[in-house]
Amino acid sequence: MRIRGQISIKGIVQGVGFRPFVYKTAHDLGMQGTVRNLGSEVVVLAEGDNFEEFMRRLSLGTPLSHIDTVTVTDSDEPVPRGFTILESTTGTLSGFIPADVATCDECIRDIFTPGGRYEGYWATSCVNCGPRYSIIRSLPYDRERTRMDTFPICGACEDEYTDPASRRHHAQTIACAACGPALSLLRTDGTAIPGDPLHTAASLLDGGAVVAIRGLGGFHIACTVEAAERLKGSLGRPEQPLAVMATGDEIERVAIVSEAERTCLNSPAHPIVVLVKKDPEALGEISKLHTLGCMLPYTALHHLLFASLSHPMLVMTSANPPGYPMITDTREACERLGGQVDYILTHNRVIQNRCDDSVVRDGKILRLSRGLAPKRQRQDLGDACILGTGPELNANISIYQNGYCITSPHVGNVRNPATLTYLKETIDRTANLLGAKFDVIAHDLHPQFLSTRYARELAEETGATLMPVQHHKAHIAAATTEPCIGIAIDGVGYGEDGTVWGGEIFAGSVPCLTRVGHLEPVMMPGGDLSTKYPERMLYGILPEEETAALLAARGWDATALAVLEKQVKQRFNVTLSSSTGRVLDAAAALLGVCRERTFDGEPAQVLETTAVPGTATLWDREFIQDNERTILSTSALLREAFSRMKYERTADIAASFQRTLATGIAEIAVMAAEEKGYQKIALSGGVAYNQAIESAIRETIVTSGHEYVINTRYPLGDGCISYGQCVWAGTALKKNRK
């Protein structure tokens, strides 16, 4: 029986209270020795009769840790008496740090305990909660390598920090009102408002003011429900649904909350959870959809703010234009938010790494960010270090090395210089934290994407090999590498034939996927103009006299209509597309429920809401055979919807259209699976967030006797692409070596 040795614990063991956990465990078992942070692993030198039990307990870890390996080796190093936490040193970078964590229940009790050291203190945290990723500069994780380094701890905090019995023993974020970061309330010109910042801000919010609030990973813009329309007007987003932060009772009052959704709301991540409203018409000033994004207070600041508010709900939207990086700096907030907010509630702790709110719907991740990212996924992709630069929209990045893939929080839409800069910063910072040196850089197939261009630049700098990965094949790679039929349904993605894909069925296994089916290629007159004005998409699919008459009746002038007709007829500035999202846009335009897109995904989301009270019937599907590919005719489907507008309710048509489209897509997949002998059918793509479409696809697959695969670890939308690129590249390299 072993009684001494050196124990190495690898995994996510930084920023999770692991050293104090080791110290306490050693004390409880009468062990002697030392513990030290070494890069991103923890090394323990220990001796004692309970050595094996000590190892067993260490392998269980702390609530926030993720243990990869626990190994023990012989050591001739003398073991000191007692047990000591040694100063950290650099070493391996095989692990990572956890995402920011919502304030734990014990810290919440601390801030509301009268007379306690932390009573009313907005930045209260312990080893089990608080900021992590948003403040880290480098590893090992110690205060001097975080943005807490400018706040020397006071004597009282020092006593807790060095007390093995304290929950804040070696808590690197420990702080109190005497020594920690401080709040201030500012006018938009940067001048301070006297008085208690938090209570004054609450009073202003109750009075109808719009306040920018600096949180863990950036600024939110907050207001009461009564001020929501004013806020939307100032943001220039009159139709876009906004998220809310509310007490648990208030969320239960306005939305249907399942047990799984309740668990998600209260999880350490505290994400925004998209819930179905109890009354679809309620809170229309916040969301005209049948759903509402809800989150609970997740920092001590939020809890204290709600304790001072008379309102149980606040609108909370990120302080940045859609697709742009979050604002993190107070000076920038004053400069850029002056026309949108009345006041700024801020603090003096630097935000090192931006982190937007995560969003979850029906257990599926819409946005991978605060609390859920950086995400670390065990995956054997070989020996190469791989960077996935992601897509153009809803981008993030992934880095693979040594059997693990790290995916960053949400970055945004890499169509503008600010977000491209943020993408570059994210690559640099993540690579530095991991000590990564890229061998391969995987990127989107589209040659003009800014992320593709940057991948080329980076490859020239580093000597890494470039590997393009088709967008929808990356979707399937993120879902599974096993032999399957893969369904990828989304808005747009550059196809291997130079057209726009987005309704694709593949067969095979990564990295050998063959396109065996898709939606009918249809015209997008004006390219991206068709995404903004979906009636253009409608005419591109149904370029017929009846469609032109409908548009004319809706106010299209003769000149504009003549230009559109000529454009389609001559195929001038017309892109071919098999996109599922564009077909849903056209259906929304046909039914008149959304004639102009003012935010990403609006036509399809409005169509989904329109369909909720409807009764779905299954219409006939028309399939076309093109060599070895099966194509679902979407023009026939839209023509059927058009004909029913004369005698059916709009809600029924919308519901039936969604069901028939989804069933037709699934039927192609099932036919391919049976023909080629595959048992698994995988689904990915942003359209799969639509409940009715996803459930119809799942029902068709399961009823056919096949296994249904859907990704719950990563977003179904483009937030999975960078990870899928890494998977594709690594699998391709392994295959080529065989």
Instruction: Report the pLDDT averaged over residues 274-285.
Output: 96
pLDDT at 343: 98
pLDDT at 139: 82
Q: Is the pLDDT of residue 397 over 90?
A: yes
pLDDT at 219: 97
Q: For 362-371, how does the pLDDT look when each residue is reduced to its tens digit (9 = 90+)? A: 999 999 999 9
Q: For 180-194, how does the pLDDT look when each residue is reduced to its tens digit (9 = 90+)? A: 999 999 999 999 999
Q: Is the pLDDT of residue 15 over 90?
A: no
Instruction: Report the pLDDT averaged over residues 469-487.
Output: 98
pLDDT at 123: 98
Do 521 and 577 contact (CB within 8 A), yes or no?
A: yes
pLDDT at 738: 64
Of residues 143, 122, 121, the one with CA closest to residue 132? 143
pLDDT at 323: 75
Least confident piece of the model among 13-27, 114-128, 722-736: 13-27
Q: Is the pLDDT of residue 322 over 80?
A: no
Q: Is the pLDDT of residue 78 over 90?
A: no
CA distance 507 to 240: 37
Place of tokens 């002998």: 677
Instruction: Report the pLDDT averaged over residues 31-60.
Output: 89
How far from chain centre, in Å, is Cα 428? Answer: 20
CA distance 67 to 239: 45
Q: Is the pLDDT of residue 89 over 80?
A: no
Q: Is the pLDDT of residue 320 over 90?
A: no
pLDDT at 405: 96
pLDDT at 300: 98
Q: Is the pLDDT of residue 30 over 80?
A: yes
CA distance 673 to 666: 10
In sequence order, the 6+-apart residues with CB closer than 8 A to the CB of 738 are none
pLDDT tier, 93 (very low <50, low <70, confident <90, very high otherwise): low
Return left, alpha or beta for 405; rule: phi > 0 is left, psi -120 to 50 is alpha, else beta: beta
Token pair belonging to 682 = 């995988």
At residue 260, what is the residue type? A
Q: Is the pLDDT of residue 596 over 90?
A: yes
Q: Is the pLDDT of residue 98 over 90?
A: no
Instruction: Report the pLDDT averaged over residues 602-628.
Output: 96
Q: Could you please report the per-residue DSSP string of 323-336?
A: TSPPP--HHHHHHH
Instruction: Report the pLDDT averaged over residues 339-347.
Output: 96
Instruction: Report the pLDDT averaged over residues 137-144.
Output: 87
pLDDT at 265: 98
Instruction: Report the pLDDT averaged over residues 661-665.
Output: 98
pLDDT at 91: 64
pLDDT at 101: 93
pLDDT at 76: 83
**Whole-structure pTM over 0.85, yes or no?**
yes
In a 13 Å sphere around the CA of 664, the CA atoms on its Cβ side amount to: 27
Q: Is the link from the previous residue into 543 a cis peptide, with omega within 30 of 0?
A: no
CA distance 138 to 88: 12
Instruction: Report the pLDDT averaged over residues 688-697.
Output: 98
Share of the chain above pLDDT 90, in %: 85
pLDDT at 94: 65
Share of the chain above pLDDT 70, in %: 99
pLDDT tier, 97 (very low <50, low <70, confident <90, very high otherwise): confident
pLDDT at 92: 63
Q: For 524-569, how does the pLDDT look when each residue is reduced to its tens digit (9 = 90+)? A: 999 889 999 999 999 999 999 999 999 999 999 999 999 999 999 9
At residue 677, what is the residue type? G
pLDDT tier, 138 (very low <50, low <70, confident <90, very high otherwise): confident
Q: Is the link from the previous residue into 140 a cis peptide, with omega within 30 of 0?
A: yes
Instruction: Report the pLDDT averaged over residues 612-635.
Output: 96
Helix axes 650-676, 602-611, angle to 10 degrees: 110
CA distance 284 to 229: 10
At residue 494, what is the residue type? Y
CA distance 539 to 586: 8
pLDDT tier, 17 (very low <50, low <70, confident <90, very high otherwise): confident
Do 467 and 440 contact (CB within 8 A), yes or no?
A: yes
End-to-end alpha-carbon separation of the chain, Å? 43
pLDDT at 612: 97
Q: Is the pLDDT of residue 737 over 80?
A: no
Question: What's the mean pLDDT when you consider all of the chain?
Answer: 94
Q: Is the pLDDT of residue 280 over 80?
A: yes
pLDDT tier, 416 (very low <50, low <70, confident <90, very high otherwise): confident
Q: Is the pLDDT of residue 77 over 70?
A: yes
Place of tokens 């813009």: 221
